[in-house]
Amino acid sequence: MSRTILHVDMDAFFAAVELRRQPELKGQPVVVGGRGDPTQRGVVSTATYEARVHGIHSGMALRTAHRLCPNAVFLPVDFAAYRAASTQVFTVLDQVSPVRQAVGLDEAYLDISHRPEDPLQIGAQLKADILSATGLVASVGIGPNRLLAKIASDLEKPDGLTLLTIADVPEKIWPLPVRTLHGVGPRTAERLAALGITHIGQLAAADPLELSREFSPSHTISLQQAARGEDDRPVQTERVRKSIGRERTFQQDCRSSGRLAHEAEQMLKEVHGRLCHSGLRARTVTVKLRYRDFTTHTRSQTLGQASAEFTALASSVHHCLFAHTLHRAVRLLGVQLSGLEHAPAEGV
């Protein structure tokens, strides 16, 4: 059965929420990240398009962003405000289709195959409804599958509305860089470039035997299917998250095991709250440390059965933390819960 998938991606979401409450900043390069102080450690969470023209992007060090654009306005991350805005957006999305898959706070797939209206009309009305309800701008992509819908939403950002079909692939998709494809990260792109493949059309036309010398047979098949615009992944309305975690980069390297233990417990309290709010239990606890020299080590412990019991999880966090070498200067601490599953209903 043919599908019609709609991909909604909020434009520069964190920055847009900040501009909504500080409209005087509109038109200026605004960078959101860390504590909003570019002289301290931290990374860019998002930036306005005025900042992006200077080369600033998500994941970049705040200090680097400041060097690229000294006149930018730097703001601290406010997750409470972004979660509240996300709830507003998803309330609108839920009126469009019951088959909806969230991807973070600012992105979602909707299966609108059951609706008889013109998909472009549905997308245009959705954009208008989001703007009316939240004051925020979304880009919407429409396609016969998730892959093409996702690419479509990126093609005309910001404030885009784009429909792609399989027939559009040769003209509109093949000229794009291979990094555009879902599942093609920096390392895969490097390996493809070594074969002389930098654009999607080259990947689609490549000899499978040549590709299989660099990639496994299954990876070769999936890469070329994606290059042809093929994707059979459904929109998943019920999906257990793979993990829930929290990380903190210290402004000054930490050498105190007592402070690390205290910070780890505080992180667990936050992560545990999200675990319980989602009705989940965790089987594996992981504590990550990044040292001054940027080497990163993790220690994990798997419980006998998945649990949402704070005491049991805290005991595992303590065990994993002290399995590390703690006399070295620690730059970053992280606590993660994984092996998640839904908690049983009451009385079951």
Instruction: Give the per-residue pLDDT at 178.
Output: 96
Q: Which residues are CB-contacts of 197 (< 8 A; sequence separation ≥ 6)?
A: 178, 203, 206
Instruction: Give the per-residue pLDDT at 92.
Output: 95
226 CA to centre of own chain? 20
Write the DSSP symbol of residue 241: -
255 vs 329: CA distance, rounded Å: 5
pTM greater than 0.75 (yes/no): no
Instruction: Give the per-residue pLDDT at 237.
Output: 80
More confident residue, 230 or 274: 230
CATH number of 5-11+80-167: 3.30.70.270
Handedness of CA 258, 260, 266, 271 (dihedral sign): negative
SS (H, E, C) 113-129: CCCCCCHHHHHHHHHHH
Q: State the pairing for strand pair 30-32/100-102.
A: unpaired
Instruction: Give the per-residue pLDDT at 327.
Output: 81
Q: How confident is the model at residue 348 (pLDDT cuts 50, 70, 90)?
A: very low
322 CA to centre of own chain? 30
CATH architecture of 14-78: 3-Layer(aba) Sandwich (3.40)
pLDDT in tens, 120-133: 999 999 999 999 99
pLDDT in tens, 274-331: 888 777 899 999 999 999 888 899 999 999 889 999 999 999 999 999 999 888 899 9
pLDDT in tens, 63-85: 999 999 999 999 999 988 998 99
Q: Tokens in use for 124?
A: 């245009």
Beta carbons within 10 angstroms of residue 127's beta carbon: 19
Binding site residue list: 9, 106
Q: How confident is the model at residue 1 (pLDDT cuts 50, 70, 90)?
A: low
Binding site residue list for Mg(2+): 9, 106
Q: Which residues are CB-contacts of 98 (< 8 A; sequence separation ≥ 6)?
A: 237
Catalytic positions, written as ranges: 107
- Maximum distance among all Cα pairs of the chain, rounded to whole angstroms: 64
| Residue 220 pLDDT greater than 50, yes or no | yes
Instruction: Give the per-residue pLDDT at 181.
Output: 94
Instruction: Give the per-residue pLDDT at 344.
Output: 62
Domains in the chain: boundaries = 5-11+80-167, 14-78, 172-227, 243-342
Helices and strands (H and E) in the chain: how many: 12, 13
CATH 1.10.150.20 describes domain 172-227: yes
Q: How confident is the model at residue 239 (pLDDT cuts 50, 70, 90)?
A: low
19 vs 48: CA distance, rounded Å: 9
Instruction: Give the per-residue pLDDT at 13.
Output: 95
Q: Where are the beta strands (DSSP E) in 226-295?
A: 243-254, 280-291
| Residue 271 pLDDT greater than 50, yes or no | yes
228 phi, psi to nearest 5 deg: -90, 0
Write the DSSP symbol of residue 172: I
CATH 3.40.30.10 describes domain 243-342: no
290 vs 297: CA distance, rounded Å: 6
Instruction: Give the per-residue pLDDT at 87.
Output: 92
